Amino acid sequence: MKILLLGANGQVGFELARSLAPLGELYPATRDGYRPSRVRCLVADLADPQMLGDTLHDVAPDIVVNAAAYTAVDRAEDDEGIADAVNRQSLVVLGSWAARSKALVVHYSTDYVFDGQGSRPYREDDATAPLGVYGRSKLAGEQALRESGCDHLIFRTAWVYAARGQNFLRTMLRLAGERDQVRIVDDQRGAPTPARLIASATALALARWLASDASRRAETLGTYHLCAQGECTWYEFARSIFQRADSAVLIGHKPAIFPITTAEYPTRARRPAYSVLDTKRIRETFGLHLPPWEEGLDAVIGELATMQSR
C-alpha cells in the first residue's frame, strides 16, 4: 500500500506523517522538497499542475492524502488566483488522476464553506454559502473532487492548531510575552481542534475503511465533519490557553484579557460567526471517539511543556 502525503510540512501534515506510517509505504511531499530538519522528500507544489501530475505518475500511490492548502484567509481576498490554483485546480488534477488510477483521495476542507449564520452545529448536508475567496476556493475544490468520480473521503475541520506552525495558540503564547493585556473576539464560536486529533482520527478511519469489503467501502465514501467536541469563543479559548500555559510555566505571566466584538477587530475577509460542526456521522460510521476541545488543549500544552523541558 503506497500512500502519498501532500503538504507534509503543515500542521496536519506533520502529524499525519506519524499516524499514517503504520498503514503502508509513506511518501511525504512538500512544496520545497524538504521535511523538518532539512530531510529531503518528494516535491509537490499544488500551484503547479504539471508538477503535481508528475509526482502522482512517479509514485503511483494507492491512496493520496491531501493536507496541503492555501489557508491565508485575508490574503486570499487579494490573491484569488493562487487560492483557486491550490484549493480548486489542484483537486481537478488530483481527482482526474485518482479516478483513472482507482486510487482513494483523502482531502481536508473547512468550516468556511458555511456562512456561520446557523444556531446549531452544521451537518454535512447543510447548505453551503462561503463568505469569502478562501471559503469559495475550498468549496470549489470539494466539488471538483466529487465531480471527478474518484473514490474520496472529505474531512471538513475547523479552528485547527498545534504545538508547531502558525496558529492561534502559538500567537497567544507569543503575545503573553509581549503584552500586558490582549483583546480577543468573543462573538465567534467554534471547536478548537488539535492537528494531532485530526491525524489520528484520519488514520483510524482509513484503517477501518481499508479493512472493509468493497460494498462497505463504497457506502462510507463522501464528506464528513471532523472536529473536537464542544464549543467556545476565541476569547474563551484564549483564556483557557493562558490559564493552562501559566500552570505549565510556558509563559512568564498571564496578560489581562478583554472580550471584544468582531466589529471591533475588522479583517480583510469576513469570518463565520458560528463554526461548530456536527461530527455524528464520522463518529458513528468509523466508531471514533472525539474528545472535548479542552482535553485536546491539555494535550497540546503538555506537548509544549515537554518540548520546553528538553
Please identify every residue annotated as catalytic.
Answer: 134
Q: Copy the grid coordinates of residue 24.
A: 503502508
What sign does the dihedral 162-167-169-175 (CA atoms) show?
Answer: positive
Q: Which residue has the cell 496558529?
A: 167
Residue type present at position 227? C
Burial grade of 92 (CB within 10 A; 0-12, 13-18, 19 or more): middle
Q: Where are the alpha helices (DSSP H) in 115-233?
A: 133-148, 168-176, 195-210, 214-219
Integer Cα distance of 302 and 250 in angstroms:
10
Q: Do the Cβ atoms of 122 and 135 come closer than 8 Å?
A: no
Query: 237-276 burial, b if ≥16 CB within 10 A, otherwise e?
Result: bbbbbbebbeebebbeeebebebeeeeeeeeebbbbbbbb
